[in-house]
Chains A and B, each alone.
Chain A
Amino acid sequence: MITLYDYELSGNCYKLRLLMSILGIDHKTVPVDFYPGREHKSEWFLKLNPLGQLPVIDDDGLVLRDAQAILVYLASKYDPSGTWYPRENPALLGEISQWLAFADGITGTASAARLHDALFYDFDIDAARAGAHRLFRILDEHLWFVEQEGRQWICSAPQPTIADIACFPYIMLSEEGGISRQDYPAIRRWCDRVKRIKGFIVMSGVFPAGPARAAA
């Protein structure tokens, strides 16, 4: 059984809960008091992850840190369809890795802005917001052409991949850091599509979408 060291309001923990829900992976969670308790810097947690960061999983003794790394692991091991992280397709794996790194960039900007506004972190808020807008412009442009070329997801596969899951949470929570998505209509439409993936779950600040229109 997988144990997820979890903080309810963390977008990086949520992306693991989200993928596990979509893939139907049974797991339990251990809540870590990230705020205000700073339990992720406590002695017992630093033994699990010396970086002092959430999330961490323990899968029968295999302890892994880093949200993007854990997505790779979970999809590789537990997705029988093999579409979320298609190990046989090098080009697609390259694409996915590229957007996983992009998701880290979103964490470093949009999530940082949210930590500043909501949990009083001492960050350069203007730089964080400007950085998030720079990334969102790139992603919106990418997704607009994705639509124009008749596709739906961040990578060029016909199905969603872990790249979509990795980018989604802190985009969806960006307004909690004062970053409006009004100028990114293609991102907003893609968010609707992610919310309609079977098994989708929400977290605080992430609202569900209604059903898609039935094919006529």
Chain B
Amino acid sequence: MLEAARSQWHPIAAAHDLPFRHVFHGQLLGREFAVWRADDGYINIWENRCLHRGVRLSIGINDGRELKCQYHGWRYSNRTAGCTYIPAHPADAPARTITNRTFPAVERYGLVWSSEEPLGEVPDVAGLAEGKLLALRGIPVNAPADKVVEKLKAYRFQPTGAIDGNGAEIAVEAAQDFAVALRSRAGAAETVGVFFVQPVDSNRSVIRGVLDQDAEGAARIAILRHHNERLSKLRDEVERDVANAPAPAPIEPIYERVSAELAEMPELTAHGRKAALRVAVARKWRTADGIAGFELRPVKGILPTFQPGAHIDVHMPNGEIRQYSITNGPGETGSFTIGVKLEPDSKGGSKCMHETVREGDVLAISEPRNNFPLRRDAIKTIFVAGGIGITPLLAMAQALKNQELTHELHYFAQGEQHLAFADRLAELGDALKPHLGLSPDATGAELRRVLAEYRNGMHLYICGPGPMLEAARRIAAEQGWPDSAVHFEYFKNTNKIDDSSSFEVALARSCVTLQVPAGKTILQVMRESGIDVPSSCEQGACGTCVATVIEGEPDHQDVYLNDAERKAGTKIMTCVSRAKSARLVLDI
């Protein structure tokens, strides 16, 4: 019976067991769950163990958007259960494989339902209509579910209208492996009670009763007490009955390693840039002068985990591919929201998004990639956004706001009408500092003021147009900010690429040596030889195609690496950078 139970839906909690900011400790057929309701109402049912050290997540902290493990502070996102932050690696983006196992959750009849491998939907229960039901207190019983169901068939209770009486007639309306429906009648009063039995483990159950009618005030409490008293007595009887029989062995849950979907390698494609996800444009709107907002919803399933600072590749109907930052706050995983500025000299990207793409259209996008990760250990974080450069910083500011970490978002724009995502900005409160209509000189002066007081432990994140970004980096350096505290993301690489050199590239892990001729990039040559390397912008701005240099001197032509990283010579962007030495050895 318990084997068949795996494919059935079972109640695992009452809806009232899941207040906001709480983690419920549940169990079904031997498998423990951490169950939590996010602030957006979504119910998460997860394997009850942190992927790091196996500590129970049911003792973790539900911050409304993410669940934080108590042990080493790993954070997991609402809905996807993907890891978004590892405090011991504050500068890194967690791998997508760090995703906890999730189980389906459905709220129905005042109960929360789940299943290990459900066949079909949560069953309709005859006699229970949504809306005017009364969920009773769950009664845990130390006995096998079948013994409890057997006992429930003889359960006696008064109908709701005659709660103080005695001797109501009881009829068994239906009985199944894990539920009994009873009708109680006394005169004109009549109540149907459905009593589900949750198989917690081989020798433990919870009785979850639902009545077909609600009540108010004192009458409601009297009904709840009536059933609590009688079901507790029934529990005591079942527990006495089974006390002398040997307890069956507990069920051993099977723990999946990494899910098959996460473990498989992505397919090879000719151009190397993957767009595995299909999303529909759920909403397109003008969020500021010249800036369109797009809300992208998955066509099926759920979207993968993103972290603040992450971007996606959008593959457009005209064949162009562009990168856009995800502006979502933490735990907001039902859709991705991006902002697209119409560039006057558009080569087809922003023009297509503005003019061709409409609500309802389906687009192909890549998985989110995070080459602009946010540390959450700064004593204070300063964000400097210029124009559409707000998008990644907006996601970051929302994450810090949710964790109540100190930050300021300085948003430079031409005017009020150029401030995008006003609703998200409003939620940041005093942390938002708009700077409107400043000339380049005045912007410089303002940046000097904003970046005046560097202290050890502060971090700066900059995103905006090239000249402004350069100015902010320069001013930060002048005022004592070390390279390691200044993080930036360019929209594009405006450097003139010199691809006249030719050199040899040895790929140490692949045991292959390749010749890179003038006019071809390292990335192209690798791909032609069948070596798959991830890439995104392919112009040296986003950081996706980074490789580690083991030997040789790189000729950096990107705008991703900072000065210290360039000098160190241990990293190279394979899409634009080349070699000054005759030979480069890469860790690929």
Interface residues of A (CB under 8 A from B): 141, 144-145, 147-149, 181-183, 185, 188-189, 192, 207-213
Q: Do A211 and B137 form a contact, CB below 8 Å, given A149-B221, A185-B24?
A: no
- 1/0 per residue B62-95: CB within 8 Å of A? 1110001010000000000000000000000000
| Set of chain B residues within 8 Å of A192, measured between Cβ atoms | 21-22
Q: Which residues of A contact B225 (CB under 8 A)?
A: 145
Most buried by B among A181, A183, A188, A208: A183
- Residues of B within 8 A of A (CB-CB), count: 30
Q: How far is the CA of A185 from the CA of B26 in the complex (A)?
A: 9
Q: Are B59 and A207 in contact (CB under 8 A)?
A: yes
What is the CA–CA distance of A26 and B140 in the complex, to the nearest angstrom? 44
Query: Across the interface, do A210 and B59 meet the contact criterion of CB distance under 8 Å?
Result: no
B19 contacts the other chain (CB 8 A): yes
B156 CB to nearest A CB, Å: 20
Interchain CB contact under 8 A, A185 and B221: no
Q: How far is the CA of A189 from the CA of B24 in the complex (A)?
A: 8
Asked if A209 and B61 sit within 8 Å, CB to CB, the answer is: yes
* Contact present for A145 and B25 (CB under 8 Å): no
| CB nearest to A147 among chain B residues | B16
Q: Are B138 and A185 in contact (CB under 8 A)?
A: yes
Alpha-carbon distance A148/B68, docked complex (angstroms): 29
Shortest distance between the CB of A119 and any CB in chain B (Å): 22
Report the bound CA distance from A169 to B220 in whole Å.
33
Complex Cα distance, B64 from A208, in Å, reads 16
Cβ of B20 < 8 Å from any Cβ of A? yes
Instruction: Closest A residue to B71 by CB, please name it.
Output: A207
| Cα separation A116 to B293 with both chains bound (whole Å) | 62
Q: Are B224 and A189 in contact (CB under 8 A)?
A: no
Q: A182-B27, A188-B25, A189-B22 are in contact. Are A210 and B63 (CB under 8 A)?
A: yes
**Number of cross-chain contacts by CB at 8 Å:** 51
A141 contacts across to B, CB distance below 8 A: 137, 228, 232
Contact in complex: B138, A213 (CB < 8 Å):
no
* Of B13, B17, B32, B68, the contact of A210 (CB 8 Å cutoff): B68
Give which listed residue, A144, A189, A210, contacts B61 with CB less than 8 A.
Answer: A210
Smallest CB separation, B126 vs chain A (Å): 27
> Which residues of the partner chain B approach A188 to less than 8 Å between Cβ atoms?
22, 24-25
Cβ contacts A to B, 24 pairs, < 8 Å = A141-B137, A144-B137, A145-B225, A145-B228, A148-B220, A148-B221, A181-B25, A182-B25, A182-B32, A185-B17, A185-B25, A189-B17, A189-B19, A189-B22, A192-B22, A207-B59, A207-B70, A209-B21, A210-B61, A210-B62, A212-B20, A212-B21, A213-B20, A213-B39
Chain A residues closer than 8 Å to B68, beta-carbon distance: 210
Residue B404 interfacial (CB < 8 Å):
yes
Instruction: Give the nearest-CB partner of A141 in chain B.
Output: B228
Closest B residue to A149 by beta carbon equals B221
Report the Cα distance A130→B27, complex, angstroms: 21
Residues in B1-38 with C-beta less than 8 Å from chain A: 13, 16-17, 19-22, 24-27, 32
Contacts of B220 in A (CB 8 A): 148
Q: Considering only CB atoms, which chain B residue lies closest to A180 in the complex?
A: B25
Residues in B neighbouring A208, C-beta threshold 8 A: 61
Closest chain B residue to A181 by CB distance? B25
User: Given the complex, which residues of A lie within 8 Å of B62, measured CB to CB?
Assistant: 210
Interchain CB contact under 8 A, A211 and B21: yes
- In the assembled complex, which residues on chain B have CB atoms less than 8 Å from the CB atom of A185? 13, 17, 24-25, 138
A133's closest neighbor in chain B, by CB?
B142
User: What is the distance, in angstroms, from A131's C-beta to the closest C-beta of chain B?
Assistant: 15
Report the bound CA distance from A41 to B136 in whole Å: 50
CB under 8 Å from chain A, chain B span 476-523: none
Give the most central of A141, A149, A185: most B CB within 10 Å.
Answer: A185
- Please give me the residue from chain A that is nearest to B404 by CB atom: A211
Docked Cα-Cα span, A211 to B225, in Å, equals 32
Question: 5 closest Cβ contacts across the A-B interface?
Answer: A210-B61, A183-B140, A213-B20, A182-B25, A207-B70
> Do B224 and A145 touch (CB < 8 A)?
yes
Q: List which B372-408 residues lie within 8 A (CB) of chain A.
A: 404
Task: For the complex formed, measure the closest distance between the CB of A59 and the CB atoms of chain B, giving whole angstroms.
Answer: 35
Distance to closest chain A CB from B213 (angstroms): 17
Q: Are A148 and B224 in contact (CB under 8 A)?
A: yes
Minimum C-beta distance from A202 to chain B (A) = 11
Residues of A within 8 A of B32 (CB): 182
Nearest B residue to A188 by beta-carbon distance? Answer: B25
Residues of B with C-beta under 8 A to A210:
21, 61-63, 68
